[in-house]
Structure formats: structure tokens, C-alpha cells
Amino acid sequence: MSHTPDPLDEIVNDALRLRPMPAPIDGLEGRAIALARREEAADAARKARLLSLHRWSAALEWMAAGLVALVLLLAPAATSSDSTSGEGRYSIQNVVAAEDDGSAISAAVDPQLLSKLAMLGALMYLAISNVWTPRPSLRFNPP
């Protein structure tokens, strides 16, 4: 089978070979370097902001986890308290007061307050770890 050359191939070939190249641009190197440095500076600032946000969110994660842990520590005490007595039930400060008195810690904390705190801590943790925690890319990827 003979191979017939595509006439368009030749026409395109000629047309593109004959196309004059654009004139070199004066100062292209300087413009490119200036642009690159501006982008690098903007990137560095963005990374610094992200890292700072990252540290804050990590701190908040720890606080939320601490809140949950505190609630878990106090929960057994609350559940074992006598909820009908109404004595010393309304604040965490009462836990300290109860300890100082040598009385039972179990009488101190309102279970409803504890459940709210636990809910708040858990929500904070979920929100921070899933939404607010940025993962800054430290590597430049050309477009």
C-alpha cells in the first residue's frame, strides 16, 4: 500500500516554518525575577499566616480535649450524686468547696451542666480538627 502524503501536512509545515518569531522582549529576565520574588514573598506571608492559624487551632484542639477530659473525670461524681437533695449541685466551684469540707465530691456537680460541657468540648474538637485545621503546603508547585 503506497503512502500518500497529506497535502495539508505540507501546507501547515510551510506556513508554520515561515512564521516570523516574535521579537525578543527587553528586560524579560528582570520582569520575570521581580514577579517571581513578589510571588515568593506573598507565598511566604501566606504560609506564615497558615502556620500561625495552625498553631492556634492546635492549641484550641488541646483545650477542647482538656475540656472533654475534665468532664469525663467529673462525670462519675455527678452521676453518683443525690439529685433529689439539691445540695451543692450548681457549679464546678462547689467541687472544690466540697473537697475542702472533706465532704463527698459526689454531691457537687450538676449532670446537665456536665453534659453541656461535654457536648461543647466534643463540638469544639470536631469543628477545629475537621474544619479549621489548615495543612499548609510548604512546597512550590508550578501551575
Give the residues lining the site for another protein (CB under 8 A).
6, 8-9, 11-22, 24-25, 28-29, 31-33, 35-36, 39-40, 140, 142-143
Q: What type of residue sits at position 69?
A: A
Q: Are 64 and 121 in contact (CB under 8 A)?
A: yes
* Shortest Å, Cβ 109 to another protein: 57
Residue 27 has φ and ψ, to the nearest 5°, of 70, 20
Taking the mean position of all CA atoms in its chain, how far away is CA 32? 33
* Shortest Å, Cβ 23 to another protein: 8
Nearer to another protein, 15 or 73 (CB): 15
81: burial class by Cβ within 10 Å (0-12, 13-18, 19+)?
A: buried
* Shortest Å, Cβ 42 to another protein: 12
Nearer to another protein, 29 or 100 (CB): 29
